[in-house]
Copies of this chain bind each other. A is one copy, B any other.
């Protein structure tokens, strides 16, 4: 149970210099995570149905973001005591920003992460096909498959007591039967029989286009679920890349070297040679089954989803490495691995959109709060060049995607958009509700339980219309300085604080006073006299302004500090 190691800082310096470690496979990557102190390795037996995910969940309800790590379970059993010749890892892609950064091989800050992505998309590196790969060390087909089927894999139950399914959560590979171009997307594969998987696929996704094209031609759709590929493949599969852009090539761009791929045994698809497990099969575009409740990123179970039908995939083979590692992600109630991944992605996308596409040059940072599922609360930090820049930013952000965002808040550059307390401070003293708030319609939500009662109304067009609130919490005119000591005095205090051995500090912005425009030379002089112990001199100035009032004036109407 090592804590973060000095290696981590070395790694970041290494990444910063543009060098890459290039993890050959998941095992390579996990070894690095462990050395960097970012992996909890659990040796004792853990029951996959009842113990495994609750254990990982605890860290998301009880540890600070910076203390969260990936988990590797070496000894997984099922509820009957059955052992698996396999291991399970969870949270290794984005349990924290540190984990995400080590996986992506870049410094743990949003601008480095965004830059890394931009480069990989601009300069993809196509995969190379090889004849053999470790993923074919074990091949399960025919009667072998029929007998126990998918139960060979130690797939954990995510929310014991509420989950009505188990599932795969990583890359799902299909291809366009017309162009032959493959797509890797992050879709759930819900396991409901030795060879039966329901594919949770949504209109508008690339996989859906593949399904439609196969249906139109009366064909079955080849599919392969890749579990535990090199991390690059998994980050690329989770990103919403443009249609027709091969995720394996973007993964190669991230890795700085081509991803080696092998041809599947029973379907005509290429998969990473160094994957841990691949489930091959064929999706029947005419056969659908309802899905029972599952956990959502909103923090609630998705119920009433029986109306959401999923096409059936028939498994034709399972190929894997010897003693494979089953990898999954932890989602549902935020914060989670999926909310962290979305937070990073949305923050980058919205910042670039507002600054570069909408030309609001002063936009510095956009933060989606994980407590909102990295979905509903969006805080935009900007430096206004024009007094109404904040409103341009709010309107554009709210309009970017009809289904993303309920609360949009614009703040100044001295407010930390990621810190709820800092945002509360801005809301408290930099906006007036009657003047600086607008409520807008024209948003849509599939999952927000506040939209309509269970099974409730959709509008004429068949969707659930919801609303958003836009708040301009930026200063509208010069403000007095913040009521903190000036920087020089706080720095001096920090020196003394350390000298006398007081407890370690995690300073929050703002931690020293600064001028926001409404301050005069006379005040500056008074304040200087006060630090020199010359308050009697200030008193002499005040005496010149003494007023005599016959009947007693009665004090100010101010409140107390």
Contact = CB atoms under 8 A, between A and B. Distances in A.
Contacts of A406: 427-428, 433
Contacts of A424: 369, 371-372, 377, 420
A421 B490 contact: no
Nearest to A506: B62
Given A289-B547, A480-B303, A49 B467 contact: no
Contact of A161 (B187, B307, B486, B500): B486
Interface string A293-318: 11111111111111111111000000
Contacts of A151: 533, 536
Contacts of A463: 557
A555 interface: yes
A558 B447 contact: yes
A279 to B, nearest CB: 15
A535 to B, nearest CB: 5
A110 interface: no
A493 B40 CA distance: 15
A296 to B, nearest CB: 5
Interface residues on A, range: 35 or more
A456 to B, nearest CB: 8
Contacts of A501: 1
Contacts of A270: none
Contacts of A475: 449-450
A373 B489 contact: no
A324 interface: no
Q: Which of A475, A502, A556 has the most CB of B within 10 A?
A: A556
Contact of A553 (B288, B291, B377, B559): B288
Contact of A202 (B55, B308, B439, B555): B555
Interface string A1-26: 10000000000000000000000000
A548 interface: yes
Interface string A484-504: 111111101110110111110
Given A429-B298, A555-B211, A558-B308, A286 B550 contact: yes
A85 to B, nearest CB: 17
Interface stretch (A128-136, A191-199, A259-267, A348-356): A191-199
A469 B481 CA distance: 26
Interface in A467-481: 467-469, 475-481
B57 A493 contact: yes
Interface stretch (A86-94, A225-233, A328-336, A389-397): A328-336
Contacts of A480: 293, 300-303, 449, 454
A55 B497 contact: yes
Nearest to A221: B552
A526 B157 CA distance: 12
Contacts of A300: 429, 479-483, 516
Interface stretch (A97-105, A115-123, A174-182, A537-545): A537-545
A152 B558 CA distance: 30
A486 B433 contact: no
Given A535-B192, A552-B211, A421 B483 contact: no
Nearest to A543: B289
A245 to B, nearest CB: 19
Contacts of A186: 560
A159 B513 contact: yes
Contacts of A555: 200-203, 205, 208, 211, 308-311
Contact of A212 (B451, B543, B552): B552
Contact of A483 (B160, B333, B441): B333
A446 B483 contact: no
A257 interface: no
A533 B80 contact: yes
Interface stretch (A28-36, A162-170, A248-256, A357-365): A162-170
Interface string A405-432: 0110000000000001110110111111
Contacts of A388: none
A372 B423 CA distance: 10
Given A434-B439, A513-B159, A546-B312, A372 B302 contact: no
Given A57-B493, A208-B555, A216-B551, 6 more contacts: A59-B505, A62-B507, A200-B555, A287-B548, A373-B428, A429-B448
The 8 closest A-B pairs by CB, nearest first: A161-B486, A215-B552, A192-B539, A62-B505, A308-B556, A295-B483, A54-B493, A420-B420
23 contacts: A42-B500, A49-B531, A54-B490, A58-B497, A59-B502, A157-B530, A161-B485, A162-B483, A187-B560, A191-B539, A192-B538, A193-B536, A202-B559, A208-B554, A215-B551, A215-B552, A216-B551, A301-B519, A303-B480, A370-B421, A429-B450, A434-B439, A449-B518
